[in-house]
Amino acid sequence: GNWWWGCSEYKEGCKAIYPDKSELRSAKATILFNNSDYTHAIEILDSIEAISGLSEQDNSLKMKCYLNICQDFFEAKDTLAFYNTLNSVIKKNPSNKENYYMAGVICNFVAQNDSALAYFDRALALDSLNATSLILKAQIMNEMGNVEEYEDIWKKLILNRDVSIEDKETYLRYYLNSYVESKDSAGYGEKMLEAVVKQHPYEAGFRKLYSDYLDYFKYDTRNAIEQLQYAIDIEPNDQDSWLKLIRLQSTIQPEEALQTAKRAESIITDSTRLNYAKALVYYSMEDYQQCIDYYLKVLDNNNMDDNANALMYSTVANCYGIIGDTIECLKYYKWSVDMAPDNAMCLNNYAYY
């Protein structure tokens, strides 16, 4: 038996750590789980739930208990016991959406997607905006190749006006990440962003997210700049947006980037980051002496790691090489290699020169 639970010293120690009785019972459930005694752990968690409800941590523990039990039944090909266990959970409280969600997660874990979808639908019947059920249902639809249903689910979640701005931004980032690998070749992400920006034109977060999307997915620097400028109009003191705007402009509009950097001097309090941005601008403008000057200012006052500093030394060396100062060029290339001897880019640059 669990002799350690009857030990008076153990009990007293637990009481000292967990003065609240429910915390003590929760700790016992965790110990039982760690000892693979899932049935008794569930009994304790059910008793806690009946009295005070389950914390997020306890709810997660309960799901893990049922997952382990059901996985054993599934691996033993005991389908009847698998579904009886899930349905026994639901019968305890048929109006609890979390039980249906838990059953759906367990079915999804063992690749029983049809059953998972059925359980998620029952959870959504109780709460049509249950984000966890909607997101997992969308994932299953994506795995099944049902793109239309996948998009409809995300639209229901992201474009719903009852969803908070903060949550909506979180869901939107999660949704866009699903298209990273394909670079959103079908343009679904762009349509979603257009709809969100139309719905919330004065939310800087969505403008910045749209700018990131255009920059990363579409390589559309010009329109990425436009969206970021909208964001800055809404939040003029956002230092990160100013710095990103300078970086974007430096690639296609270096003269404008320099003007932006000057305007940002009263806003950006971190002079090191601003000097780094200016160095990039001057490099794009082929003003290599100014580029060197600003990189050296950064190198004099920064806390970056050796690899980052070595790359800057290498860039300074490259600038000296372009303007024909071979001695300074070799000196800075050597410093870059000495600082990061395993950095392939620095080694290649030095060897090439």
Question: Residue 331: what pLDDT?
Answer: 93
pLDDT at 351: 74
Extract the tokens encoding 132. Answer: 């966890």
CA distance 105 to 115: 10
How confident is the model at residue 11, as a pLDDT? 47
Residues of the chain short of pLDDT 50, as ranges, are 1-8, 10-11, 15, 18-19
Residue 21: the pLDDT is 67
How high is the pLDDT of residue 127?
92
pLDDT tens digits for range 83-105: 999 999 899 889 989 899 999 99
Cα gap 165→201, rounded to integer Å: 12
- Specify the residue for token string 């004065």: 202
pTM greater than 0.95 (yes/no): no
The predicted pLDDT at position 20 comes to 54
* Tens-place pLDDT, residues 21-72: 668 888 899 999 999 999 999 999 988 888 888 888 988 999 999 999 999 9
